[in-house]
Chains A and B, each alone.
Chain A
Amino acid sequence: MVPKSIGRRQFLKLMGIGGATALLAPAVPAIMEKLDRNKAPGPSGSTGKSSAKKLRQWVMVIDLKKCDGCSTLGDIPQCTKACIEGHMIPTGPNGEWVQKWIEVLKEELPGGGNYFLPVPCQQCENAPCVNVCPVGASYTNEEGIVLIDHRRCIGCRLCMAACPYSRRFFNWGEPNQPAQAKFARYSPEFPVPYIKGTVVKCIFCAHNTHNGKLPVCVQGCPMNAIYFGDLEEDVATNKVEIVELSKFLAKNNAYRLKEELGTQPRVYYLPGHGEEFRGHNFERTKA
């Protein structure tokens, strides 16, 4: 068959396809690259794995029998203070606390009286904040800690809407952080210096735990009320004693906040003053 000379219709088609290819060609390598790098944000170059060899599943247990809001000390809550100082958290213009990543709340007892409830980020396994983030800036690392990549956050605050414990804070203006914060090297595990227009929260001191140290709130509690542990190895410590985690929780009727919402938090509370508890919901810690 003798090929006919190219007609007008075919010419137009070719022009269209050619033009489209020319315009799209540069995008193809970018798309392939994206397919390769289909992973969560993290410190540059890594996938967010911890530097320790063991794979930990961090958990916090707060013994409400021991916590008295530091009222007997006559001082501000030491856990909050340690956290704010340890992370150089931005304060208000007069140095007042505006972001309390671990906040000690005073709850009323049904029969009268109060008890104190320290509330850090609950590091939920089914974290609503991670589920709704549009750019994947909030992510859960392999150890179960929910981290934020502040280089990616667009400041939409959908995560703040989603968190049922109100444990996220926003840098509304230029963060009022100490001068030495500017010299820190940023990583999601230690998000200093803080960036205007992004969201911050408690990160279970991922920078500490990756280096073999306990979180600063655990270290700073004078009553040793905060235990920090590992669900994988089934241990927890409050820097003075070590306990077998599953038995500890079972024996002390541990409960979690707002269990019915299905967020599966990693912070357990040991009641002691008549707080409600939800029964034995920690079968997860057993093998």
Chain B
Amino acid sequence: MMKMSSKNSLESTVLQPILKVGKGYTILALFLLSVVLLGVFAFLTQLSQGLAATAMRDKIFWGIYIVNFVFFIGISHAGTLISAILRVTNAGWRTPITRMAEMITVVAIMVGATQILFDQGRPDRIFNLFLYGRYQSPLVWDLLSISTYLVGSCMYLYLPLIPDLALCRDRLAGQASRFKLAIYRVLAVGWTGAPEQKKLLERAISVMAIIIIPIAISVHTVVSWVFSMTLRPGWNSTLFGPYFVIGAIFSGIASIIIVMAIFRKIFHLEQFLEEKHFLKLGTLLAVTNLAYIYFTLAEYLTMGYKLAGEDKELLTMLFAGSQAPAFWAFLVLGLFVPLFMVVNKKTRNIPGLVVASALVNVGMWIKRFVIVVPTLQVPLLPFDVGIYRPTWVEWSLTAGSFAGFALLFMLFARIFPIMSIWEVREELETEKEKETEKVIEVPAQPQPKWTEVFPAKREEAR
């Protein structure tokens, strides 16, 4: 049972990182910053040498930048699922998780969009997409959908943040820095907790929650259509839209579990992020895991049963050829081992779930690699196959992106509360009321004793 925490304990725990952090935080932040700077250096190298600094060539012209792009956009589905769907279905246990999930979404989309920037041959012409964009092109669908989703997620992050910002503005006056206080004041737009304001906010959040769900589904659908609008083996599939969406939700849940576990540990949130939250997320993880296994089976069985020309080459490469290690690693470590770990009682706890989620994320990154690169290794005309070994530039940019992802999170945690204080408080109070109702079962008026109502009968019976 959730312990009944006092208001102060919740606030002080969650607001603590804003005021002060330990040495470990600083060291980690500096380390991540150095990795990001390495990525910046690699990008500058790439800008001067052109994409020749990567291992991509005319045969295999999309590499791990695209893999990273799909990966990050994939895990950005975390926020939507948790916040929006669980809100719409009135699942109360979502409240400590929503803020982190929404943060994952915003940061992941931003990092994912930069991956596309790294992949352009002419990044200086990126605005041509706005000046000359063609709505018939899958990349423009990406632009429309991802920008809509980014803005929507930012708003969906901001709206429930308003009461917490007001709280910070009020509680931390005099303790936090002037810069932070100014941010709180501006962003809180005069929130006082007045009933009219509450009503307006609730309405706004509900509307956002409803429209953000189809937008999120459209995002990874159009990302998948960049591949499936081409005539290449493995990509020329009608299943890609739903396949990618399920995969995105799957890896998104895994990311939330990892982020939750990390923040729980370093910010001492054990009181509020209990095992039951992890277990519920674990159930969702298992469900999407099964769904993903189903889609993977549907995809490869329909290909493998027919073995049309180029498909046969692709599947040979995946099952028994040069990409077999990657494929089987994804299948076993990324799909079946996590499923087993979630279902099995012995590993159905927080450490087990974190390990399973880490395996899922690694497996899904490998899966995205298996989608992008082997298809390009199947020659469409009789010529030699290409090889692809990513260079240090590509690996540095990848590492820099992941470091940037983590760093942005850390910065976020220093400015904004990483749990939605007012929602958690509301949820705690709702639960307290329910509990109180259960304990006091006797109604308000005292009932008369039976002997007082029918004294004579009793004595007569004797």
Contact = CB atoms under 8 A, between A and B. Distances in A.
Q: Do chains A and B touch in the complex (CB under 8 A)?
A: yes
Interface of A: 34, 41, 98-99, 103, 105-108, 119, 128, 131-137, 152-158, 160-162, 164-166, 168-174, 195-199, 261
A136 B143 CA distance: 15
Contacts of A135: 125, 128-129, 131-134, 137
A135 B51 CA distance: 20
B190 to A, nearest CB: 14
A106 B134 contact: no
A134 B122 contact: no
B134 A162 contact: no
B381 interface: yes
B58 A170 contact: yes
- Identify whether the interface residues of A are mostly helix, strand, loop, or mixed: loop
A156 B121 contact: yes
A195 B124 CA distance: 13
Given A153-B122, A196-B121, A158 B138 contact: yes
A8 B50 CA distance: 56
B440 interface: no
Given A128-B231, A158-B139, A152 B125 contact: yes
Nearest to A108: B382
B394 interface: no
B380 interface: yes
A164 B229 CA distance: 12
Contacts of B136: 131
Contact of A170 (B121, B134, B376, B382): B121
Which of B57, B126, B227, B231 gathers the greatest number of chain A CB atoms within 10 Å?
Answer: B231
Interface string B104-128: 0000000000001001111101101
B120 A155 contact: yes
Contacts of A173: 49-53
B138 A172 contact: no
B352 interface: no
Given A98-B58, A132-B229, A156-B120, A105 B382 contact: yes
A107 B230 CA distance: 24
B414 interface: no
A153 B132 contact: no
Interface in B376-410: 376, 379-383
30 contacts: A105-B381, A105-B383, A108-B382, A119-B381, A131-B137, A154-B121, A154-B126, A154-B128, A155-B121, A155-B122, A156-B139, A157-B119, A158-B138, A158-B139, A158-B230, A160-B58, A160-B61, A161-B62, A164-B231, A164-B232, A166-B59, A170-B57, A170-B58, A172-B51, A172-B54, A173-B49, A173-B51, A174-B49, A196-B50, A197-B122
B380 A164 contact: yes
Contacts of B382: 105-108
Contact of A162 (B131, B229, B379): B229
B436 to A, nearest CB: 44
B50 to A, nearest CB: 4
Which of A108, A128, A131 gathers the greatest number of chain B CB atoms within 10 Å?
Answer: A131
Contacts of B123: 154
Contacts of B125: 135, 152-155
A152 B382 CA distance: 32
Contacts of B128: 135, 137, 152, 154
Nearest to B143: A134
Which of B120, B134, B383 gathers the greatest number of chain A CB atoms within 10 Å?
Answer: B134
Interface in B339-386: 376, 379-383
A34 B231 CA distance: 32
B42 interface: no
Given A98-B58, A134-B137, A136-B134, A165 B381 contact: yes
Contacts of B53: 173
Nearest to B56: A172
Given A132-B138, A161-B62, A154 B129 contact: yes
A132 B139 contact: yes
Contacts of A103: 383
B57 A172 contact: yes
Nearest to A158: B139
B38 interface: no
Given A172-B52, A196-B50, A134 B62 contact: no
A66 B125 CA distance: 45
Interface string B274-308: 00000000000000000000000000000000000
Given A134-B139, A158-B226, A166-B383, 16 more contacts: A98-B58, A107-B382, A128-B230, A131-B137, A134-B140, A135-B137, A152-B132, A157-B62, A161-B62, A162-B230, A164-B380, A169-B58, A170-B58, A172-B52, A173-B51, A174-B49
